Each structure stands twice: as C-alpha cells, then as structure tokens.
Amino acid sequence: MLVVTGVAAADRKAEEAAIREALGSNAVSSIEPAPMDGFYEVVIGPHVVYVSRDARYLLQGELLDLRTRENLTAPRRQQAVRTLLDGLDKSEMIVFSPDKPRHHITVFTDIDCAYCRKLHSQIGDYLARGIEVRYLFYPRAGKDSPSYRKAVAVWCAKDRKQALTDAKNNKAIPMKTCDNPVDRHMRLAGQLGLRGTPMIVLEDGSIQPGYVPPKPLAKLLDGGS
C-alpha cells in the first residue's frame, strides 16, 4: 500500500476530506503533509495553517525549524500570494513598464493616499531601475467614497495611465463610469490582509507594507538586504 510521509494513502484521503469539511471545502486551496508529525499544511487563499490529522486542532503562525533556523511557512505563503495574483490578468491592472523590465511589483494604491502619491511621483525612477509597476486599486474609504469614484473614473478613462497620474496630482478628471475591476481589486486586497496603502507585493510573493523608495526597492528585488 502506498504510504505518504507515514500515512497510508487511504487514510490520507479520509483525513483530507475531514479537514475540508471542517474548514469549508471551497476555501481550501491545497492540503499537504506538514513538516511536523501529525499535521497537514493547509493553504487557504494566501494563508498557511496547520491542521491536525483528526481535523480537530488548527495552528496558525510561523513554523520554524530550530535546527536550520529556517522559516518553513514564509515560502509557502509567498507561493500562495503569487498564485492569487497570477489569477488576475494584466489587462485588469494599470501597468507602467520600462523598455526592458528586470523586476515587477504589484501595488495596491489609493488615489488620495499621500504615500501612494509620493510613490507615483517617482514612477520614472522605478522604471529607470527596470521595475515594472502593476497598479491595483484599494480606496481605503470604501465603496462609493470619493476615492472609489476616482478609481473607477481612472479605469474608465481613454488613457488610464495619464488619468491616474493626473488624479494623483490632484487634477480634475472626467468622472466616468464603466465596467471596471475595482471591486475585484478590493476583495483581493482583503484576502491578502491589507491594512494600509500603498501595499507592495514583490515578484516572489512577499509583501512590503508602505512606501519603499526606488533605490532600496531595486536593491531588495536584486536580492540585497
């Protein structure tokens, strides 16, 4: 009989079914044996938790290997974040791209947020360092707020990038409405646990809350500290 990390295949199938039932099958992305005995690693959206084989106990937090001092949760969480963002096509973003992109970031932005505006005021510097900036909207004041309506108007503009730049410079833009992805962006931000803007998601799936200037961001993306 096939055994997976000490668990018979038939037992594992039953245990996974029990975990899905306990957590809600629609919420669970994947279930794999955890690095520690007696638990499964369960991915729910961008979140990684650990559930006992009998589906009774759930552990939430960082799993550390004290021998290697390695964080075993972070890479799996970053992979889950990447998977969520990969489900959103670039046609549903406003993308500022250099001629030869070396890296990309995904930025949840609020048009009226001061640090979001500061980030965008340096968009040329990010591009000059080979960083593609993919914008998603997160109006912090919520649906139907002035910031929300500006986000919709930017999306509905003929030239979205220019409209976004104008709006962030506090220039008036035509307040149009159309089919738009702003609500989807906001739901995704909620899944990722956004607490403030800007929120920058790096290409490896790690999250940088808040504004990061072009030079240190480029260093971080290049693998520097």
> What token pair was written down for 72?
């075993």
Residues 6+ apart with CB under 8 A from 172: 166
C-alpha distances out from residue 84 to 71, 154, 185, 192, 201, Å:
21, 24, 11, 9, 11
**Number of C-beta neighbours around residue 34 at 10 A:** 21
204 catalytically annotated: no
Give the percent of the chain with pLDDT over 90.
Answer: 83
Q: Which fold has domain 3-72?
A: Nuclear Transport Factor 2; Chain: A, (3.10.450)
CATH number 3.40.30.10 is the correct assignment for the domain at 91-221: yes
Q: Which of 12, 76, 82, 116 is catalytic?
A: 116
- CA quadruple 135, 137, 141, 147: dihedral sign: positive
- pTM reported for the whole predicted model: 0.85
pLDDT band at 3 (very low <50, low <70, confident <90, very high): very low
pLDDT tens, residue by residue, 162-195: 999 999 999 999 999 999 999 999 999 998 989 8
Q: Is 178 a catalytic residue?
A: no
Given 110, 112, 117, 134, the catalytic residue: 110
Domain boundaries of the chain, sorted by first residue: 3-72, 91-221
Q: Quick one: pLDDT at residue 34? A: 95
Active-site residue flag, 140: yes
Kindly name the residue from 76, 117, 134, 140 that is annotated as catalytic. 140
